[in-house]
Amino acid sequence: MPWNKEMPANPVVAVAGATGVVGREMLKVLEQRDFPASKVKALASARSAGTTLPFKGGELTVEEMTPESFEGVDIALFSAGAGVSRQFRQAVVDAGCVMIDNSSAFRQEKDVPLVVPEVNAHDLAWHSGVIANPNCSTIEMVVPLKALADAAGGIKRIVVSTYQAASGAGMKAMNELYNQTKQFLAGEPLTIEAFSDQIAFNVIPHIDVPVEDDYYKEEWKMVVETKKIFGDDSIEVAPTCVRVPVLRCHAESVNVEFNGPISPEKAKEVLAATEGVTLEDDCANLVYPMPGLKQGTDDVYVGRVRIDRTVENGLAMWFVMDQIRKGAALNAVQIAERLLP
């Protein structure tokens, strides 16, 4: 059923999973963008109840999340994992609260819009209480590609390899990269818990669980989420997702075959004028974006724009994005902003 509850101008907002890497960033983004909330609640598991998180010069006391937590709440930003999102969905919607969910739980459901505001804000019109925030690697890819697709008659095929930061797997994964690096340098045995393999001084060509045809689920998400966000099932995506020893910010090497012609010069002109994109591209002077240096930024940074002569209408590019911000927290808050009257 389509949602028919009006959004107040000053909604009550809950952050579910507030103590995680993404939840903390959600609080930061709400504060930095001066989101007009009348009240913000920080929710997490019982383990964190009673601890405090900084917010607007003061602090929020973390409450244990229960089905009753959502009474009187207008917008809930969820980033506590897919299982927790499934468990609380009904209670949230029954309370008349819109759920903006960062997990992978509902992204493929027919009545759940999957939204990147720069690309398909129009899909917010038909939500029925739940809006999904896409996978971070997919968001990073579609923001610049939407603008280029519009300029080149659409996209036929994308070949993408990701270079994903440790923080994509949460706080304990970030700590593991840090600690393993120290252990490696001290010649000590490495503690391997958060990842399947050593991450310090290594790269791992595996993210999430195996699905079909020997792909991993992170790769599958990039295929199906790109089609859903663009509203175009004909776009082919061939991804390889790789974990690299970077703390924060995902990078992507992207080769695109467009339906119509577009020169690298034209592409750069379009990208330089695109909201949410910053072009950093000067080959001769070694100017290109790098993930180790983009922490805390909001845009998708694009460099290395050049012709791909192996196909007709081909371009090759390099993208960098802080996946905790635009890939998760910022995109969710931008969706919330679009729900305001």
* Residues noted as catalytic: 136, 250
Q: Which is nearer to ligand 25A, 53 or 155 (CB)?
A: 53
Choose the stretch contacting ligand 25A; rule: CB under 6 A; options: 5-13, 45-53, 141-149, 229-237.
Answer: 45-53
Smallest gap, in angstroms, from Cβ of residue 323 to ligand 25A? Answer: 5
Q: How many CA atoms lie within 13 A of 147 on its CB side?
A: 22
Which one, of 318, 324, 325, 328, lies nearest residue 160 by Cα?
318
**HSE toward the beta carbon, residue 134, CA cutoff 13 A:** 29
Q: Which among 40-48, 226-234, 265-273, 333-341 is the span making contact with ligand 25A, rule CB under 6 A?
A: 40-48
Can residue 103 be called a binding residue for ligand 25A (CB under 6 A)? yes
Kindly report the number of other CB atoms within 10 A of residue 227's CB atom: 16
Query: Is the CA virtual torsion 44, 48, 50, 53 positive or negative?
Result: negative
278 binds, among ligand 25A, ligand L14, none (CB under 5 to 8 A by kind): none
CA–CA gap between residue 329 and residue 341 (Å, rounded): 21
Name residues contacting ligand 25A, limited to 250-269 (CB under 6 A): none
Please, what is the minimum distance in Å from the beta carbon of residue 261 to ligand 25A? 34
H/E stretch holding 320 = strand 314-321
The DSSP element (H or E) to which 298 belongs, if any, is none
Does an H or E element contain 175, and which? helix 171-185
Task: Show contacts with ligand L14 in window 210-239 (CB under 6 A).
Answer: 218, 221
DSSP string of 119-131, one letter each residue: HHGGGGGG-SSEE
Q: By three-state DSSP, how is residue 28 classified? A: helix
Piece of 163-171, 177-185, 262-270, 287-295 that binds ligand 25A (CB under 6 A): 163-171
Q: Is 22 among the residues that bind ligand 25A (CB under 6 A)?
A: yes
Q: Which does 247 bind (CB under 5 to 8 A by kind): ligand 25A, ligand L14, none?
A: none
H helices, E strands: number in the chain: 8, 14
Number of residues that bind ligand L14 (CB under 6 A): 10
For residues 327 and 329, what is the distance between their CA atoms, to the nearest angstrom? 7
**Residue 136 interacts with ligand L14 (CB under 6 A): yes or no:** yes
Residue span 81-120 as binding mask against ligand L14, x where in contact by CB under 6 A, dash where not: -----------------------x----------------
SS3 56: coil
The distance of closest approach from Cβ of residue 149 to ligand 25A in the complex, given in angstroms and rounded to an integer, is 23
d(CA 112, CA 116): 13
**Contact string (CB under 6 A) for ligand L14, positions 148-187, x = contact:** ----------------x---xx------------------
CA distances from 143 to 22, 85, 253 (A): 20, 26, 14
Q: With respect to ligand 25A, which residue has the nearer C-beta, 156 or 228?
A: 228
84 binds ligand 25A (CB under 6 A): yes
The contact set with ligand 25A (CB under 6 A) reads 17-23, 44-45, 47-48, 65, 79-82, 84, 102-104, 136, 167-168, 170-172, 323-324, 327-328
The contact set with ligand L14 (CB under 6 A) reads 104, 135-136, 164, 168-169, 207-208, 218, 221
